[in-house]
Structure 1
């Protein structure tokens, strides 16, 4: 049972990086690729149908982490408290930007919330790299290696976001990429958590919750998994390239 839940947790964590990674990557590229207001509108519209479905994976990761590995909750939250708070604030700013940017039509209003999307995406991307290093090594995230991993994750997400735009809207942003290219960039975005999980596997297996707790968790969580996967498949099939991707330029 411990190994099964480790595989489930690994699938959820890598799935989050592979899916939410392109959302954050598009946010990172907003001030670079979206040089006009129309361009930024179309970038946000390209990722808009996927955002909420992708964020569900983070909720699932957090629930599984603290349910399957309860010993880690105090350690992770205590040691990484400032970083976790900064990442939560970045998440709030990014999502607020997505929801508020079109509430008014002024240039200053749009520009401010576009900047919040980019800033929040940067905070989350960079923070994930530092958090992964600190969790894997048990050291402070504020060190040269942690910073370098933060930069690496940020660059991987930016590349993943660029590949997503080239797949979702071929030619709109200067490039065209196939679904296989998007799958490859998703794998690249998932490499950092795969490395962490490989290093932490013995520790996680030793600190898994009791069999009774895992049985209860299985009854609660596993019936929901097909719904989450089904919803994800529906989103990707419904909003694949060739659909009316830009009828609504942003969130409403």
Structure 2
């Protein structure tokens, strides 16, 4: 059961990195992809159907960590408290900007919400890189510091942005598409770039997981015996819903979203 619990944790963490990395990366570059209100609404429309479903993977990751590895969860989250707070703050800021954008009084309000989306997306990406820096340097129970932490956080954020560009090149039209395509490159299909950055998004998360003493910190066999089978039943449903969303909204966007 410990092996299955570890596999589930790795699956959900990698899934969040790849899926949410697309909408976060696009949000990071929204001020550059969209130069006016209509273009920014088009950029929002490219990931609006996906971001809530993608966030479920982060919630599932936290659920597996809390339920199957409670001791490790306490040690890790207490040691990485500043990083977790920064990540959650960025997440809340990004979502607040998304949900509030269409409910304000005028263009200044929308501009402020767009800034919240971009800044919050950068905050999540940099915080995730900061967390990975601690794991990759062998200090999972204390925030990473120094040049290594800074460079790792910036490198991870750059991969988020590249992943978002690949996603934008698949979904956008008009001038925002041209801007995304200019950086992605015109050789080959946009899916090639997106697939490459997906590997780059998921790889560090799996590598960082090897630094955690997962098998030694697993919950009692009785607890795992209840949780793991339930997770194995729910996981295919989550994958099926995610697949349906991506299939339904597989076409390029040509107009603004509801946000």
Distance in 2, Cα, partners of 1:228 & 1:234? 10
2:16 alignment partner in structure 1: 16
Instruction: Figure out how many residues of one structure are paired with residues of the other and give that number.
Output: 247
TM-score (norm 1): 0.92
> Please, which moves more after superposition, 162-171 or 95-104?
162-171
1:210 partnered with 2:220: yes
Which residue of the partner structure matches residue 183 of structure 1? 195
Residue 241, structure 1, aligned to residue 241, structure 2: no
Rounded to whole Å, the distance in 2 between the matches of 1:133 and 1:71 is 21
C-alpha distance after superposition, 1:190-209 (max 9, x if no partner): 12202212343xx2122222
Q: Is the 8 A contact 2:97 2:114 kept in 1?
A: yes
Instruction: Give the stretch that moved more between structures: 167-176 or 210-219.
Output: 167-176
Cα displacement string for residues 164-183 of structure 1 (whole angstroms, at most 9, x for unaligned residues):
01011256421264333322
- Asked whether 1:155 is paired with 2:163, we answer no
1:11-160 equivalences under 5 Å are 11-104=11-104, 106-136=106-136, 137-138=138-139, 139-160=142-163
**Structure 1 gap segments, 5+ residues each:** none
Measure, in 2, the Cα distance between the counterparts of 1:76 and 1:116. Answer: 28
Distance 1:238 1:247 in 2: 16
CA displacement, residues 20-67 of structure 1 (integer Å, 9 cap, x when unaligned): 001110111011221111111100000000001100000000001111
C-alpha contact 1:22 1:164 (8 A) present in aligned 2: yes
User: 2:230 pairs with 216, 220, 230, which one?
Assistant: 220
Q: Are the equivalent residues in 2 in contact too, given 1:41–1:249 (CA < 8 A)?
A: yes
Q: Is the 8 A contact 1:98 1:250 kept in 2?
A: no
Mapped contact 1:5–1:68 kept (Cα < 8 A): yes
Structure 2 stretches lacking a partner, 5+ long? none
**1:247 Cα shift?**
4.2
For the aligned residue pairs, the C-alpha RMSD in angstroms reads 1.7
**1-structure distance, mates of 2:23, 2:257:** 16
TM-score, normalised relative to structure 2: 0.89
Q: For residue 85 of structure 1, report the CA deviation from its aligned partner.
A: 1.4
Structure 1 moving runs of 4+ over 6 Å: none
**d(CA) in 1 for partners of 2:172, 2:210:** 35
Alignment-derived partner of residue 192 in structure 1: 204
